Structure 1
């Protein structure tokens, strides 16, 4: 089971995709964590300072002459500048560097950084105010022909506090994000691959149904990925060639068997009419054996094609009686008794009567051949099955898997034959969707045909 999973294409794609996603997420998480841990100011501090300066700039109000007259901050930004005047400060200056507006505790006389403010627009400068390190962000705003500058000063203590507050949950968030992403991706990939491989599973099921009796089946290329479509086409082409070859083989088998019957009959007649032929009985026996083999080949060709069957309601008791009557002379010559036992009420079955006759005749004939003199071959019949039991030496267990193979004969077989009788029985059973089994008894062999 594990080896099958390891060799599975879907399992390999699933493992590869999930592994690639996991590695990618871990690398991204490591990069993000490293950036926030080693460069927190560049990642968060500068953004926080630029955002504060932008909000101050947007909160500027101008008088009719176009000069700043007030800063109306709102929300959290106004609250921060109000409660943390020693950590957050802002100033509004004109082109000459004169302070026009400022927050509480902002120094009015000392310059914050370079005097030429236009050189540091959008940049952060590190300065000291009241002996403490601050980062100053400068932005420019124009009003008509006038230019003004907005500066915000953020203490390093405040920046560190903000960074610690924002970076503290990052590792946990990254872990949860990776876990949720992996689970979601794995489930989505499983569903996607199941749907994508559905045409392949259907093609596999269709291919499993291909048999000598069902060579007309073709695999559908509908929904098959373009990379696999050529394989499906090649398989269908191989099936077509196989079907043609099988048809030619069956036609040759039937034609050869049919054409051999007449010459054999003529040869037998000529031998019977010649009085001086030595070993006439042996020759006639060999010709009869060849004729029997030819008839079996013809039967085999007929039962291998489903269109040769004519189905209808068949009384199995009548067929069993006919077979016993047909083989009675052979049984009498070998001093074997044939017995038919019927159990319960037997209903007609849907079958080809001639085919059922041939099947029972072949099994019963084999049973007569292996049964010792003064013994019994029993035919047990009920509504669901037919049992044929002999009192012969039995079949060796290692021979049972080969009994129904064409042209197979046991190495220790004592009666003549071509090894086709049971193969014909198997073909008839398959055509009727019956189950034909054999088992070795304590004394003899039992064949069971289940409807």
Structure 2
């Protein structure tokens, strides 16, 4: 048993494992994107920083009244250059390349370059590490115009500090790659949802199978294959309970059937002995009682058979033929009671999905029930519809709405004066349910005498959901 649990795996472990793998993959992708962003933006950030420094210096170039240029850096900027003089430097040159101002007062350019009055492009240079400068240095030559005159400004810096570069790159990454990260994590969320749904599919399958379990299908069990280890003990416990319920149902059905069979023999003996009685009136009364007992025994047998009834999907029955058979069978019974039966709509076949024998029992019980309650001299009307409906109408007192659900319960009787054990309509309801149909009770329209009576409507499924009457009739 343990090996089976291990093979099917834990739902929690599956979810954690899959999410961990997916998260790891996403993390690697994000890390790769950030690494690429880092290396692709370092040079850009450095160049941008150099140009920004040159513009800061240019913004403080000024001219006196004689046209002599001057450089007046703010104290904060001057102190920054003085403090970082080993790493940062600047030189301001006129249009001819003559050094006018520099950080250390030296009149040397930071890097040689060719003067071009027509070229106003920024050029960049790199100075390798040397004995005095252990770090590689980077610089830019930026042309600017101030007060109508051209100046060349050279700035230089060493490798930027890691914390400054990191802050800058993080800011750049959120600006340029933030949408990509959001897209990746949205994809991660979607994948997580799909993963969890796939992990719970076996539970949905078990739920659908559980809906099919009922009194007529007690042999169905919940599937244990692919069920997560956390749910498997519950599924097995439910299957075990279903097994015990099935055994109980079988014992009940067997008892009902055995009891009915065992009762038939003494009833037959009683019938034979009653025939020897000298008083014919007493014998007739006893024979009527025995007929009632025989009928109850037969109904008990039908109930036992009904609980195990299953209708095959390919079974077909002709409602018209079934109703004609019922009328032929109960015609004599109706005449004996000075009542009659009419049948409408049975001229053509009406094909439904179902078993003809059990449908004959159901419709026969409905007609017999109607004959028991309709007054002498009235007609029990049977109507067959081409949509798979059969209606049976009597002219009795009808059934109150509050009793319409009760009449289908076993042994429930609305009128104790009428012969019967209260099983006939319960059998009808069971047969209709086994066929996947429906049955309903309504008040009938008033007849000439103002009697409404009751209408029982039985609706049966059509083959493939099509038309009940075949074309060509």
TM-score class, shorter = 0.5 to 0.7
Unaligned runs of 5+ in 2: 1-10, 16-37, 57-77, 88-130, 138-155, 446-451, 461-473
Q: Is the 8 A contact 1:203 1:219 kept in 2?
A: yes
1:234/1:201 CA distance change after superposition, 3 Å: same
Q: State the alpha-carbon separation in 1 of the partners of residues 85 and 422 from structure 2.
A: 101
Q: Is the 8 A contact 1:136 1:152 kept in 2?
A: no
Q: Deviations over 1:32-91 (max 9, x none)?
A: xxxxxxxxxxxxxxx9xxxx9xxxxxxxxxxxxxxxxxxxxx99869977995999xxxx
Q: 2:270 aligns with which of 267, 270, 281?
A: 267
Q: Is the 8 A contact 1:302 1:308 kept in 2?
A: no
1:201 aligned to 2:210?
no
Q: State the alpha-carbon separation in 2 of the partners of residues 224 and 423 from structure 1.
A: 39
TM-score if structure 2 supplies the norm length? 0.58
Q: State the alpha-carbon separation in 1 of the partners of residues 234 and 370 from structure 2.
A: 48
Deviation at 1:258, TM superposition (A): 0.9
1:229 aligned to 2:226?
no
Q: State the alpha-carbon separation in 2 of the partners of residues 256 and 136 from structure 1.
A: 112
The residue number in structure 2 matching 1:254 is 257
The residue number in structure 1 matching 2:392 is 388
* SS of equivalent residue, structure 1 residue 224: coil
Q: Is the 8 A contact 1:345 1:382 kept in 2?
A: no
Q: 2:193 aligns with which of 169, 177, 190?
A: 190
1:430 aligned to 2:439?
no
Deviation at 1:387, TM superposition (A): 1.8
The residue number in structure 1 matching 2:373 is 370
Q: State the alpha-carbon separation in 2 of the partners of residues 325 and 270 from structure 1.
A: 32
Q: 1:134 aligns with which of 69, 74, 84?
A: 84
* SS of equivalent residue, structure 1 residue 379: strand
Aligned-CA RMSD value: 4.6
Q: State the alpha-carbon separation in 2 of the partners of residues 86 and 430 from structure 1.
A: 90
Q: State the alpha-carbon separation in 2 of the partners of residues 303 and 335 from structure 1.
A: 32
1:361 aligned to 2:364?
yes
Deviation at 1:204, TM superposition (A): 0.3
1:177/1:276 CA distance change after superposition, 3 Å: same
The residue number in structure 2 matching 1:111 is none
* SS of equivalent residue, structure 2 residue 190: helix
1:260/1:331 CA distance change after superposition, 3 Å: same
Q: Is the 8 A contact 1:439 1:447 kept in 2?
A: yes
Q: Is the 8 A contact 1:436 1:447 kept in 2?
A: yes
The residue number in structure 1 matching 2:134 is 150
Q: Is the 8 A contact 2:324 2:346 kept in 1?
A: no
Q: State the alpha-carbon separation in 2 of the partners of residues 328 and 320 from structure 1.
A: 12
Q: Is the 8 A contact 2:311 2:354 kept in 1?
A: no
Q: State the alpha-carbon separation in 2 of the partners of residues 257 and 162 from structure 1.
A: 95
TM-score if structure 1 supplies the norm length? 0.60
Q: State the alpha-carbon separation in 2 of the partners of residues 83 and 399 from structure 1.
A: 93
Q: State the alpha-carbon separation in 1 of the partners of residues 429 and 337 from structure 2.
A: 27
Number of residues of Structure 1 aligned to a counterpart in Structure 2: 335
Q: State the alpha-carbon separation in 2 of the partners of residues 235 and 337 from structure 1.
A: 53
Unaligned runs of 5+ in 1: 1-9, 15-46, 53-73, 88-127, 138-146
The residue number in structure 1 matching 2:105 is none
Deviation at 1:220, TM superposition (A): 1.5
The residue number in structure 1 matching 2:418 is 415
1:267/1:180 CA distance change after superposition, 3 Å: same
Deviation at 1:226, TM superposition (A): 1.1
Q: Deviations over 1:405-429 (max 9, x none)?
A: 222323x454122221122222333
Q: State the alpha-carbon separation in 2 of the partners of residues 376 and 392 from structure 1.
A: 10
Q: Is the 8 A contact 1:337 1:375 kept in 2?
A: yes
1:297/1:437 CA distance change after superposition, 3 Å: same
The residue number in structure 2 matching 1:109 is none
The residue number in structure 1 matching 2:404 is 400
* SS of equivalent residue, structure 2 residue 458: strand
The residue number in structure 2 matching 1:288 is 291
Q: Deviations over 1:160-216 (max 9, x none)?
A: 997886576688789868865664344223222221111111110000011122222
